[in-house]
């Protein structure tokens, strides 16, 4: 008889696992289809992450040692580096490695993304969907409609699906991965609450640390999960040594991130954004020399961030990054802003506040009932607390960050979704527990589905001329470049900098007129001393102080101005070479700053650059 019951239990477990797997595959397929994947076209037009994956398999952190491999927003730091993190390339490298075992190469990127969606879906569904749901779904929907809420509020969250429907360049692809990683982390945190074991605790700590490799802003979610799990284990009476083992795992992986950052970009806390190369000089100026938005008052900066979160709606500017008065409450200070799809609206804010109030009310009632701070609905409390701990650091970060975009606001999506889900759980279970109010469960179910549908229906995505819609191909797209030429010891007007085969070498410098933008980028070799020859565009508007405002950086190191020599019409500025040995030899990236007249137009500075020489 006991064997019969065990067989029945094993049969039920198999049915449950199969149901979860089938539903997860369906959800992953939906996510892939929204991104634009078609059957047979599994290769993405985004080569950046796969370039890094193949480099990792070759034993290198850099994509190439030749600056000719530079592409838009790549960085140069002891080789060509991509600034979108190592997390996704490591994930793709795992699939590529398995692919090579079977004699194949270049694993399709979209299938790797589908694998991430499948893992996140299985983690969320196994954590939140009750086993009884697949035995009696109609009854579960009638008594507990919130049992399917995680599907719509986490895996198919409207802002996430809207992000997936955009151009899906490398920027969006990484945010998609980061959202899926945050959901997996949330599911692991709730799973630990239900069944606290040392294995689950250590796995959660490792996952919390690794998510930061996917995207730096995921640190807030990793830290929240680690902090909550630590205090939870201490509350259970675990020994301090046992509880600290998770912190040790988390800290070790974060330390590994700092080490890789140092070897890749030259500083533990540098993720490459101060070294990226592109043709937008104002971006380079804000990230390397001075960010005007850093002086924005906290109140006005807070108003803009609030508007960014809940009032983007149809206020989209696309490629007009420096357009004024796009959003209500937008600050007048220059800031790179790209709004190209709707993220959240006021309905999200209402639901989030309602969730916070509901959980606080439940916690207060439980305390009055003498439960010593224990909540009768601990999962709802955990979801809201995880959300609060994550939202706070994100608000502090984006209130001052010099660059904002619609996709950046999706960093808040896991926290918002968790809060709303916590509120739905609490309210749904309260209603279903009362016979007199149970009929309201049907209304709750209908309201949830209707709101979800309206959010998807009203979502708007603005196409971009610079970034076409996502493209997938039946064959892999390789990033090919020709080797660069050996660099000279100087550049001067009339030189053909394009002949060296390095993209963005001389960006911001007009080689015909000599006019220099606020920031110019160059590639030089073995710099021990730097000399600039400049002349004013209009001598009546340039003072001696303007010459001293001219600055130079090699990599992350600012060079010291040694002296200025007046040679008649032109001035010669001499800078001492870099002090750090990593910048003294080999090919280096040089960034120059020139003062400009208008605070809103940095495209032309006050100076013409006649020549650059280094020794």
Task: Please state, as a whole number, how many other Cβ atoms lie within 10 Å of the Cβ of residue 371.
Answer: 12
Specify if 116 maps to a domain: yes
Identify whether residues 496 and 377 lie together within a single domain: no
Same domain for 541 and 409: no
Q: Which of 14-18, 178-182, 408-412 has the lowest mean pLDDT?
A: 14-18
Same domain, 522 and 566: yes
Residue 476's pLDDT is 87
**Inside any domain, residue 233:** yes
Q: Are residues 108 and 174 in the same domain?
A: yes
Please check whether residues 44 and 102 belong to one and the same domain.
yes
Instruction: Looking at the structure, tell me whether residues 450 and 507 fall in a common domain.
Output: no
Note whether residue 346 is domain-resident: yes
In a domain, 480, yes or no: no
Where does a domain end: 407, 441, 458? 458
Q: 188 with 329, same domain?
A: yes
In a domain, 464, yes or no: no
The span from the CA of 409 to the CA of 342, in Å, is 10
Do 395 and 509 lie in a common domain? no
Q: If you ran DSSP here, which 8-state letter would residue 190 be given? A: H
> Is position 494 within any domain?
yes
Chain centroid to Cα 600, Å, comes to 28
Phi and psi dihedrals of 502, rounded to 5?
Answer: -120, 115
Instruction: Label residue 374 by pLDDT band (50, 70, 90).
Output: low
Q: What is the pLDDT of residue 448?
A: 85
- Same domain membership, residue 158 and residue 104: yes
pLDDT beyond 70 at 371: no
* Statement to judge: residues 176 and 112 lie in one domain: yes
Range of the domain at 202: 2-458
Tens of pLDDT along 584-610?
999 999 999 999 876 666 678 899 999
For tokens 């070799």, name the residue: 525
**Domain endpoint, select from 458, 475, 507:** 458
Task: Output the domain CATH number for residue 517.
Answer: 2.60.120
**Rounded-to-integer distance, Cα 522 and Cα 390, Å:** 39
- The answer to the question of residue 332 being in a domain is yes
Residue 118 belongs to some domain of the structure: yes
- The pLDDT, as a whole number, for residue 539 is 79
Q: From CA 8, how far away is CA 13, in angstroms rounded?
A: 9
- Among 410, 434, 458, the domain boundary falls at 458
Number of domains in the chain: 2
Using alpha carbons only, give the angle 192, 244, 416 rounded to the nearest 5 degrees.
45
What mean pLDDT is predicted for residues 67-84? Answer: 94
Mean pLDDT of 514-542: 91
Q: What are phi and psi of 600, to 5 degrees?
A: -100, -5
Q: 501 and 448 share a domain?
A: no
516 and 404 inside one domain: no
**pLDDT of amino acid 594:** 93
């Amino acid at each position: 008889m006991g064997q019969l019951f065990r067989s029945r239990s094993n049969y039920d477990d198999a049915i449950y696992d199969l149901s979860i797997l089938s539903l997860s595959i369906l959800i992953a397929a939906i996510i892939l289809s929204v991104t634009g994947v078609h059957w047979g076209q599994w290769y993405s037009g985004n080569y950046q992450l796969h370039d890094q994956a193949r480099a990792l398999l070759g034993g290198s952190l850099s994509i190439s040692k030749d600056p000719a491999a530079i592409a838009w927003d790549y960085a140069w730091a002891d080789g060509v580096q991509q600034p979108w993190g190592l997390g996704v390339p490591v994930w793709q490298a795992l699939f590529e490695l398995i692919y090579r075992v079977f004699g194949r190469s270049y694993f399709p990127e979209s299938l790797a993304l589908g694998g991430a969606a499948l893992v996140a879906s299985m983690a969320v569904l196994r954590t939140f969907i009750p086993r009884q749901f697949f035995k009696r779904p109609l009854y579960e929907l009638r008594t507990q409609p919130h049992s399917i809420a995680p599907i719509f509020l986490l895996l198919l969250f409207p802002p996430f699906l809207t992000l997936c429907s955009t151009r899906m360049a490398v920027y969006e692809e990484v945010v998609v991965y980061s959202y899926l990683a945050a959901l997996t982390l949330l599911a692991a945190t709730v799973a630990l609450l239900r069944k606290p074991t040392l294995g689950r605790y250590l796995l959660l700590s490792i996952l919390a640390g690794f998510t930061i490799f996917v995207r730096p802003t995921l640190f807030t979610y990793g830290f929240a999960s680690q902090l909550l799990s630590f205090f939870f284990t201490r509350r259970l009476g675990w020994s301090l040594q046992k509880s600290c083992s998770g912190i040790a795992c988390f800290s070790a992986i974060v330390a590994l991130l700092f080490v890789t950052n140092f070897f890749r970009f030259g500083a533990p806390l540098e993720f490459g954004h101060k070294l990226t190369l592109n043709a937008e000089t104002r971006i380079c100026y804000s990230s390397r020399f001075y960010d005007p938005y850093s002086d924005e008052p906290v109140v006005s900066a807070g108003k803009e961030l609030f508007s960014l979160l809940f009032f983007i709606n149809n206020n989209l500017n696309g490629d007009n990054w420096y357009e004024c008065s796009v959003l209500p409450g937008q600050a007048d200070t220059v800031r790179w802003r790209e709004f190209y799809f709707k993220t959240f609206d006021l309905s999200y804010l209402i639901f989030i506040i309602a969730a916070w109030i509901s959980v606080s009310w439940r916690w207060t009632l439980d305390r009055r009932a003498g439960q010593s701070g224990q909540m009768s609905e601990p999962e709802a409390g955990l979801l809201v607390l995880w959300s609060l701990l994550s939202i706070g650091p994100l608000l502090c970060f984006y209130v001052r960050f010099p660059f904002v975009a619609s996709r950046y606001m999706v960093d808040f999506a896991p926290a918002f979704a968790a809060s709303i889900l916590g509120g739905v759980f609490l309210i749904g279970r309260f209603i279903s527990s009362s016979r007199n109010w149970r009929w309201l469960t049907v209304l709750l179910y209908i309201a949830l589905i209707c709101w979800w549908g309206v959010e998807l229906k009203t979502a708007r995505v603005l196409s971009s001329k610079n970034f076409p819609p996502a493209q997938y191909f039946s064959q892999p797209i390789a990033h090919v470049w020709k080797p660069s030429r050996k660099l000279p010891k100087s550049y001067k007007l009339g030189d053909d900098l394009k002949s060296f085969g390095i993209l963005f070498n001389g960006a911001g410098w007009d080689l015909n007129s000599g006019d220099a933008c606020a920031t110019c980028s160059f590639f030089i070799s073995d710099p021990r001393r730097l000399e600039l020859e400049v002349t004013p565009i209009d001598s009546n508007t340039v003072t001696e102080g303007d010459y001293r405002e001219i600055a130079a950086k090699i990599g992350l190191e600012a060079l010291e101005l040694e002296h200025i020599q007046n040679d008649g019409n032109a001035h010669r500025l001499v800078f001492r070479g870099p002090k750090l040995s990593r910048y003294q030899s080999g090919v280096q990236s040089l960034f120059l700053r020139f003062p400009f007249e208008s605070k809103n137009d940095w495209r032309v500075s006050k100076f013409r650059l006649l020549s650059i020489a280094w020794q």
